[in-house]
C-alpha cells in the first residue's frame, strides 16, 4: 500500500506546478477557441475567473474548487474563459507561445517564476503588474509581479 501511495504522490508532483521541464514531454499545439481575444475582454474574463475562484486553496495536482495548483488553474482558466486549450503541467505551458520581454506584458500572457532551483510557478498577467494565480500559501489570488518575492523569482513570460 505504501508503494502505491508513493507512486501516486510522485505522479501528482510531476504533473502540477513544480518540476523542471522534461524534454520527453511533448505538448499538443495550441488551437485558438471561438471566444474573443481583445485585451479588454481578456481582462474581464480573468477578473470573472478570479471572482469565481478567489480563495480556493492550493492543492498539488488539484483540478477543482476543492483544491487547485498553479498549472491546473491556468489550464482551466484558458479553456473556460478564453477558449484556448493548454497543457496541464507548468513545464509544458512554459513551452507554449512566444517568449516576450517583461516590459511588453499584456492581459492573458503567461508569467513564469523559479520559486526554487527545481520548481516553477505559473500565473496569468492581467494588467498594471498584476497576475492571477494559485498561490501555495493563499490559494487563488491576484499578486503583483513587482512584489519583492515575485520580482526576485521572475523567470520569463510567453504570449499565446
Q: For the chain, how are helix, strand and coil distributed in percent, rounded to 5?
A: 35, 25, 40
Q: Is 70 a catalytic residue?
A: yes
Residues 17, 26, 37, 121: which is the catalytic one? 121
Cα separation of the two ends of the chain: 42
- What does 76-120 look like in DSSP terms, one character per residue? HHHHHHH-----SSHHHHTTSSEEE-GGG--TT-EEEEEEETTEE
Instruction: Let me know if 37 is a catalytic residue.
Output: no
The count of residues in the chain is 160
38 is catalytic: no
**Residue from 17, 26, 38, 70 carrying the catalytic annotation:** 70
Residue 154 phi/psi, 5-degree rounding, is -55, 135
Active-site residues: which are they?
70, 121, 133
Amino acid at each position: 500500500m505504501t508503494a502505491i501511495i508513493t507512486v501516486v504522490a510522485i505522479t501528482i508532483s510531476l504533473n502540477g506546478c513544480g518540476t523542471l521541464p522534461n524534454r520527453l514531454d511533448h505538448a499538443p499545439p495550441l488551437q485558438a477557441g471561438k471566444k474573443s481575444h481583445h485585451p479588454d475582454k481578456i481582462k474581464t474574463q480573468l477578473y470573472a475567473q478570479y471572482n469565481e475562484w478567489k480563495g480556493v486553496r492550493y492543492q498539488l495536482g488539484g483540478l477543482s474548487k476543492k483544491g487547485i495548483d498553479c498549472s491546473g488553474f491556468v489550464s482551466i482558466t484558458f479553456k473556460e474563459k478564453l477558449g484556448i486549450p493548454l497543457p496541464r503541467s507548468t513545464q509544458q505551458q512554459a513551452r507554449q507561445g512566444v517568449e516576450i520581454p517583461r516590459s511588453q506584458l499584456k492581459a492573458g500572457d503567461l508569467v513564469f517564476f523559479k520559486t526554487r532551483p527545481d520548481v516553477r510557478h505559473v500565473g496569468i498577467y492581467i494588467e498594471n503588474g498584476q497576475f492571477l494565480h494559485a498561490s501555495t500559501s493563499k490559494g487563488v489570488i491576484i499578486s503583483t509581479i513587482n512584489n519583492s518575492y515575485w520580482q526576485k523569482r521572475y523567470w520569463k513570460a510567453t504570449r499565446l
